[in-house]
Structure 1
Amino acid sequence: MIHHLIFLCFCITPFLSLALAVDTISGNETLSGDRTLLSSGGGNFVLGFFHPGNSSRYYIGIWYRRVPTQTIVWVANREAPISDSNSAQLTVLNGNLVLLNESRSVIWSTGLNSTNSNNSNVVAVLLDDGNLVLRDGSGSGSNSSVGEYLWESFDHPDRTWLPGGKIAYDKRTQRRQLLTSWKNSEDPAPGLFSLELDPNGRQYIIRWNRTEQYWTSGSWNDHIFSLVPEMRLNYIYNFSYVDNVNESYFTYSLYNPSTISRFIMDVSGQVKMLSWDNRDWTLFWSQPRQQCEVYAYCGAFGTCGQTSMPFCNCLPGFRNKSDSDWSLGDFSGGCVRELDLQCESNRTNGRRDKFFARPNMGLPEHPQPLMVGSASECESACLDNCSCSAYAYDGNGCSLWNGELLNLQQLTEGVGNERTINIRLSASSSVFSGSKNNKGIIIGAIVGSIAVFLAILAIVMAIIWRRRRKTVSKSVEGSLVAFGYKDLQSATKNFSDKLGGGGFGSVFKGILPDSTVIAVKKLESINQGEKQFRTEVSTIGTIQHVNLVRLRGFCSEGSKKLLVYDHMENGSLDSHLFKAKEPKVLEWQKRYQIALGIARGLQYLHEKCRDCIIHCDIKPENILLDSEFCPKVADFGLAKLVGRDFSRVLTTMRGTRGYLAPEWISGVAITAKADVYSYGMVLFELVSGRRNSENSEDGKVKFFPSWAASVTIDGGDVLELLDPILDRSADVEEVLKICKVACWCIQDDENIRPSIGQVVQILEGLMDVNLPPVPRSLQVFVESQEHIVFFTESSSSGQSSSQTKSNTSSASSHSKPSTQSTN
């Protein structure tokens, strides 16, 4: 009776946005206009009509009640919108929940063959987990068990996977539930990207257009998916796998039920995990990590460039198929030709199509191989077939592509798999404009002539210079110069201008006869033979990255082992952070870019090299700054070069106390996560502008990471942590992000620390970071109010003008400090 009275009230006020006081639609009730249902229990979700963005189309959907920005989690009529919500009705009819349009035609239904229940008793109930269910109303109320549901929206997800839901594989019908993206931000119709369960591998996969698989989660190992390492950092949700005779599926729950969190299959083609932080949705992780790894993201004849914004652009001679779709983030329509091909026109005027060469491309899949002997034959084969859109020839063979070109990627030169593709265009295309082309030929001829003249002049000058200059190298191995010891002794004025020194050796400034300024490191304790040393140095010499110091050459004469680097004008990072006489203020934006650059350099060493290189001694003294303050990681690869044995006792270890991870003394194998720990300690010093450990006037040790973790995790004023010289002039969100990352990096358990690649994504803004737990070692330090030293040997390499100050590290929960040496 109460239900009917409430419903009658709503009929009297059709233009008010009202919510039914109940969570149920029974057989004699309808929902239309602005009327909504409120979920049972806590009222977490709302069901009603909505129109996305600026669209005039209406849909029945479910959204969060407590999130100010309307966030849709389920849509009923994705492919059948209505134009007038006041005339439409959502009601229970013949045992089904149906949506009737203005003409009272059924445009959406739950589609049940209701022979097992009394149709008059069927009701629709919105549960507090966001699940809309149909059940027999003669049961025990809206909280009936799942087994009594006749139908539920959790079995028919759209783009959102809520806690308690599942993306399953039905073994009886071989039906896969799909998590399918919206077409764009204003159209919930099914898009091209879908997530589904692969029951054979206990893994999830993402497909484009239900066909091309371009991502997999990796197999489930009862804890995480093997290719989603971010799950190690998870403290929000708990995954579980269910496999029975009827179906197999994953489901997840939240550790904290009050957390608002969801998975979505985004219009970007990435699956994302998002959490609400009372202000906005924050991204916890997304896969695939790089946008251009999404298959055909930019549509036909569109190119995806990971280093440019926007990611998608049309090939020369093409234009967007739909500007409105592209503005809404839907690039699936791709690009179309500005002019039809000559071969498609009835009036070719004797002209044939031409090809435009596009270098540094990741080529489309599914080429048609052709055995020809030259590039001209490859071009002719494509021209003779009007459906051929492009060709590529690399000397090993010819590849042709017919029809639309999909999944084109614009790569950075030097990545190793870039090729040149030749795109077929009409001869009348503006790309081959006559005036522009003739002008280009003239300019090219002039430039070419000048280039030839300069090349000849350069050769002559080089010959003269080579005859006059002193020979400073005896041989060249690859790109490295093998210097003679006497030549380096002369360049450094008998090693008189010392830049720094430490466990790996001392560094001296030098000047070559051609005025090139260098930094020469005299290595100590090198026990390798000549051949092995040259092999290891040659390996280091092939590693080049903008955030790694370039190795120019080496010297190996008996026991004399030296490395020659480029000299960095701005010295080492410690000279700018800790030296009082430094007149230049390292402003926050430079510090943030330095933090990002260090992470990128380490990512290259850890993830991009053929073999993972662990630095083992990350600290400000080993971060050098060029003339533009671009950070360069120095001394990489030296751990291997000096023959370090990680299994030796503590006193033989090289590194700097205060930056060494706890596993150095716990007896476990050293991994790249040891560098991550050291990097976290450097981040704290970038923020504070001082050493992490300092003695106070009362004799106690101040340990900055403890204070920083407390302020960060407890929601304090992070600008208080900032270097006083900056006078609180910094982006508070960036400071908070850096502090969060630092706290994650110094976790005692290396499995909880992020990879350095994840750190890069966070600092680049591609991944959000949540509040970390307080590392146990920091808690121990705060509780004991004393600093327990358990690292011994200190090294201070790099181009610093002074020795590294003694740094200490807090006790680890993995060890018993009282048993460690404190030399």
Structure 2
Amino acid sequence: MEVKLLPLPLPLPLLLLLLLLHFPFSFSTIPLGSVIYPSGSNNQNWQSPNSTFSVSFVPSSSPDSFLAAVSFAGNVPIWSAGTVDSRGSLRLLPSGSLRLTNGSGATVWDSRTDRLGVTSGSIKDSGELVLLNNRSVPVWSSFDNPTDTIVQSQNFTIGKVLRSGPYSFQLERSGNLTLRWNNNTVYWNHGLNSSFSSNLSSPSLGLQTNGVVSIFDSSLRGGVDTVYSGDYGDSDTFRFLKLDDDGNLKIYSSASGNSGPVTDHWSAVDQCLVYGYCGNFGICSYNDTDPICLCPSLNFDFVDVDDKRKGCKRKLELNDCSGSTTMLELAHTRLFTYENDPNSESFFAGSSPCRANCLSSSACLASVSMSDGSGNCWQKRPGSFFTGYQRPSVPSTSYVKVCGPVVPNTLLIAKKDDGNNSKVHLWIVAVAVIGGLLGLIAVEVGLWWCCCRKNPRFGTLSSHYTLLEYASGAPVQFTYKELQRCTKSFKEKLGAGGFGTVYKGVLTNRTVVAVKQLEGIEQGEKQFRMEVATISSTHHLNLVRLIGFCSQGRHRLLVYEFMRNGSLDNFLFAVDSGKFLTWEYRFNIALGTAKGITYLHEECRDCIVHCDIKPENILVDDNYAAKVSDFGLAKLLNPKDNRYNMSSVRGTRGYLAPEWLANLPITSKSDVYSYGMVLLEIVSGKRNFDVSEKTNHKKFSIWAYEEFEKGNTEAILDTRLGEDQTVDMEQVRRMVKTSFWCIQEQPLQRPTMGKVVQMLEGITEIKKPPCPKTISEVSFSGNSMSTRSMLVASGATRSSSSSATRSFQTMGITSSGPASTRISEGSLLGS
């Protein structure tokens, strides 16, 4: 007889423990003794009740290594404990500590909560990992110990720090948000309105569900908006604020829940302006739109060719130079400098003395000549960290001491690719230039001898207006009587604007010109000539060319090339004028205008903010190409002259950015706003501030956005572009979406004009823009709209001094705050 032994039943607690160890946790409670592994049959995770977040191991960037993290959708870490190998583990010990160990058993990270009465852990639906005592009170929380990420509903207060490599992000007691390199060098500082910064008691930072990053404090009535995400307004989107390993602070979002891709919608700073991004001796530049790291010259090698962000090293150290040292010149390049750096000093010097002084000093390794009007020269001593930024728009020149001879890095030399790589000898160029000039002189002398030598009308004007002067691009100086004669005593008026009146004139060589008689210009003659020289040095296909000027006594006049077709407003709004633009012409005018403004902002030697973009200042030539006029004139106004302010600008109020109303600094982003309004008018053929029954008595831009939201873009299109006209609706949609991005309330949300050109040309994907706010909805820190409306209605003027004192804050630069090391204001101007 066979006897079968029946298995004894296991005790219930032991059975439950075996089940917990065998199956992944699908609930939020984490018992003491729980453990998860990176790989293998014991791979487990601890999930939140809604399964949105989990504690698990995710693959890291290093091979055969895993990151212990709280993750969104299973693969997006929002908090991490550290990296281990495939045999590592994360355990909630019976003592109450959460501990991460690698395969050898060494502790990588520990919560240090043993003997604090921890009885269990939990992962919440908000993504917060907590360790609880027997009364379910949190003893430790991942939200209170952030790593590199802040999520919605997470409270970020003073003392908390986000870290990623050498970079850190903090909230200051003043309410400022700062990005630092190596805990001391501040390369981004985003502050509140100065009226708040001294009144905060316990500020905290929060990322709201609509995509707004706000500062909260007991002294504030609600939150103060500081940053807007690019997908602002959609409350169903999961977002998080992350300090990336490249030193940039970004807002990411997933629009499709747990399964959607995660994309960034806002970044704090231009990537090349991140301090140390390219390592020691590394120069950050751009390849199309992506940042790249380069060495200053071929006198340097990359520290790691596979990771160029690690910087560069000298091929030959200065102490080993067999010959003499020399200075490597880096045009359009700035080595970043910051205040209170013990290894650098600043003094006033021109470019040549700045270079020579460093070359002759054994205590100087590099120098930066700040060609931004400050006249500063920064010198870097041994032991300094060298990191730089190169771009054609950067006015400064940097010098680095190297062992001769200098071997240039061609990637850092801006040049046009003409398809011919052969070298042209300098003497050939010199002969060609001199021959060309002599030929021009001979032609002009011949023309004068044949046609004009016996003409009594050929007076002093022709002697000034020579072909040689005009061809050279230098502005011709006229006397007031000469311009009075050529305009027939200013008889034929072409138009009037915020800077003066324009008259038609004919020079004695029969060249038709437009003469602008400036009003309210009280600058001295020397300063006026300097500003005119700046304006005349701008040459672009889509800019009106300045031919000459007059500065005689109190008379200030500018002479421009004449545009027979007049300004854009005559085509768009003057229905009875008989002028009409086809869609092809409209699109080309919009694109040409954007290219002209881009040149002013980013490509000419001195960055020029127009301050008065409107259809009246966009002229149309004989080929229906756009030419922007009146640029640079804002710099000619007397700072004490209040004519050019919000309350009295004639015909331009509908184009002014909200920062004009809020008395905030005016930057190139203000031109972007004005251009966005013009772009909408080009599409619609209507003034952006028109209110009618068709727009339901709403401001046209708001009504247009509502129609765009409904997918009814055709309703925005000018009705004159009927069925008999060929209209590219894809171009229409691009222009409409671009215009809504340009007229966003917050300057940080608006694209640069260079980006606008790419959006119009279809090079860059245009995401859905948030709804632009009406003027009555605009809300800036510290000012109620009703107060500003009253100021505008009563004719109150902008405070020029107030705008100047805060102009650096728009660029993320401030001289106030904690006594930590800060990048100097001059080190970022013009970047």
Between the aligned partners of 1:306 and 1:501, the Cα distance in structure 2 is 42
How far off is 1:134 after superposition? 1.0
User: Does residue 299 of the first structure (1) align with residue 276 of the second (2)?
Assistant: no
The corresponding residue for 1:520 is: 515
User: Percent same amino acid at aligned positions?
Assistant: 27
Between the aligned partners of 1:267 and 1:614, the Cα distance in structure 2 is 37
Between the aligned partners of 2:110 and 2:646, the Cα distance in structure 1 is 71
How far off is 1:685 after superposition? 1.0
Distance 1:671 1:10, change over 3 A: closer
The corresponding residue for 1:193 is: 167
User: Does residue 632 of the first structure (1) align with residue 624 of the second (2)?
Assistant: no
Residue 140 of structure 2 is aligned with which of 135, 151, 154? Answer: 151
Give the partner amino acid of 2:727.
Answer: L
User: Does residue 736 of the first structure (1) align with residue 727 of the second (2)?
Assistant: no
How far off is 1:115 after superposition? 2.5
Distance 1:406 1:4, change over 3 A: farther
Between the aligned partners of 1:594 and 1:7, the Cα distance in structure 2 is 71
Distance 1:313 1:294, change over 3 A: same
Gaps of 5+ in 1: 14-18, 170-175, 182-190, 244-249, 433-439, 745-751, 780-811
Q: Structure 1, residues 486-515: CA drift from partner, whole Å, max 9, x if none? A: 533665688798755678766455554567
Give the partner amino acid of 1:209.
Answer: N
Residue 316 of structure 2 is aligned with which of 308, 319, 340? Answer: 340
CA contact (8 A) 2:676 2:741 kept: no
Give the partner amino acid of 2:149.
Answer: T
User: Does residue 565 of the first structure (1) align with residue 560 of the second (2)?
Assistant: yes
The corresponding residue for 1:58 is: 66
Distance 1:575 1:276, change over 3 A: farther
Between the aligned partners of 1:307 and 1:155, the Cα distance in structure 2 is 40
The corresponding residue for 1:591 is: 590
> What are the within-5 Å matches in structure 2 for residues 783-798 of structure 1?
none
CA contact (8 A) 1:598 1:623 kept: no
The corresponding residue for 1:47 is: 55
User: Does residue 132 of the first structure (1) align with residue 129 of the second (2)?
Assistant: yes
CA contact (8 A) 1:7 1:20 kept: no
The corresponding residue for 1:81 is: 84
CA contact (8 A) 2:583 2:727 kept: no
Between the aligned partners of 2:143 and 2:439, the Cα distance in structure 1 is 72
Q: Structure 1, residues 293-320: CA drift from partner, whole Å, max 9, x if none? A: 3222221221123696434322211343
The corresponding residue for 1:322 is: 304
The corresponding residue for 1:686 is: 682
Between the aligned partners of 1:25 and 1:505, the Cα distance in structure 2 is 75
The corresponding residue for 1:708 is: 704
The corresponding residue for 1:805 is: none
The corresponding residue for 2:431 is: 450
Between the aligned partners of 1:588 and 1:307, the Cα distance in structure 2 is 28
User: Does residue 287 of the first structure (1) align with residue 236 of the second (2)?
Assistant: no
DSSP 3-state at the match of 2:731: coil
How far off is 1:51 after superposition? 0.8
Distance 1:683 1:483, change over 3 A: same
Between the aligned partners of 2:89 and 2:545, the Cα distance in structure 1 is 69
Between the aligned partners of 1:220 and 1:642, the Cα distance in structure 2 is 23
User: Does residue 217 of the first structure (1) align with residue 190 of the second (2)?
Assistant: yes
CA contact (8 A) 2:334 2:368 kept: no
CA contact (8 A) 1:550 1:566 kept: yes
Between the aligned partners of 2:208 and 2:31, the Cα distance in structure 1 is 45
Structure with more contact order per residue of length (Cα contacts < 8 Å, sep ≥ 6): 2
User: Does residue 263 of the first structure (1) align with residue 241 of the second (2)?
Assistant: yes
How far off is 1:463 after superposition? 11
Between the aligned partners of 1:813 and 1:211, the Cα distance in structure 2 is 39
How far off is 1:363 after superposition? 3.6
How far off is 1:560 after superposition? 8.1
Distance 1:45 1:720, change over 3 A: farther
Distance 1:47 1:360, change over 3 A: same
DSSP 3-state at the match of 1:726: coil
> What are the within-5 Å matches in structure 2 for residues 414-493 of structure 1?
418-425=396-403, 444=425, 446-447=427-428, 450=431, 453-454=434-435, 457=438, 470-472=459-461, 481-485=476-480, 487-488=482-483, 491=486
Between the aligned partners of 1:699 and 1:422, the Cα distance in structure 2 is 61
CA contact (8 A) 1:705 1:778 kept: no
TM-score, scaled to structure 1: 0.66
The corresponding residue for 2:333 is: 361
User: Does residue 94 of the first structure (1) align with residue 95 of the second (2)?
Assistant: yes
CA RMSD of aligned residues (A): 6.0
Between the aligned partners of 1:472 and 1:492, the Cα distance in structure 2 is 13
Distance 1:517 1:262, change over 3 A: farther
How far off is 1:29 after superposition? 2.5
Residue 163 of structure 1 is aligned with which of 152, 155, 176? Answer: 152
User: Does residue 726 of the first structure (1) align with residue 727 of the second (2)?
Assistant: yes
Q: Structure 1, residues 572-630: CA drift from partner, whole Å, max 9, x if none? A: 3346656754467136476356347558858999x967xx9854xx4312123578956
What is the total number of aligned residue pairs between the two structures?
692
Residue 29 of structure 1 is aligned with which of 26, 31, 34? Answer: 34
Give the partner amino acid of 2:84.
Answer: P
Distance 1:761 1:195, change over 3 A: farther
The corresponding residue for 2:212 is: 236
User: Does residue 406 of the first structure (1) align with residue 386 of the second (2)?
Assistant: yes
CA contact (8 A) 1:589 1:730 kept: no
Between the aligned partners of 1:285 and 1:125, the Cα distance in structure 2 is 32
Between the aligned partners of 1:761 and 1:4, the Cα distance in structure 2 is 67
CA contact (8 A) 1:100 1:108 kept: yes
Between the aligned partners of 2:15 and 2:703, the Cα distance in structure 1 is 59
Between the aligned partners of 2:693 and 2:228, the Cα distance in structure 1 is 52
The corresponding residue for 1:204 is: 177
How far off is 1:424 after superposition? 0.8
> What are the within-5 Å matches in structure 2 for residues 242-257 of structure 1?
none
How far off is 1:341 after superposition? 4.3
Between the aligned partners of 1:276 and 1:295, the Cα distance in structure 2 is 29
Give the partner amino acid of 2:387.
Answer: N
Give the partner amino acid of 2:532.
Answer: G
Distance 1:196 1:679, change over 3 A: same
Give the partner amino acid of 1:37.
Answer: W
Distance 1:450 1:613, change over 3 A: closer
> What are the within-5 Å matches in structure 2 for residues 537-548 of structure 1?
541=532, 544=535
Distance 1:698 1:535, change over 3 A: same
Distance 1:519 1:736, change over 3 A: same
TM-score, scaled to structure 2: 0.65
Give the partner amino acid of 2:144.
Answer: D
How far off is 1:397 after superposition? 8.8
Between the aligned partners of 1:449 and 1:661, the Cα distance in structure 2 is 49
CA contact (8 A) 2:367 2:378 kept: yes
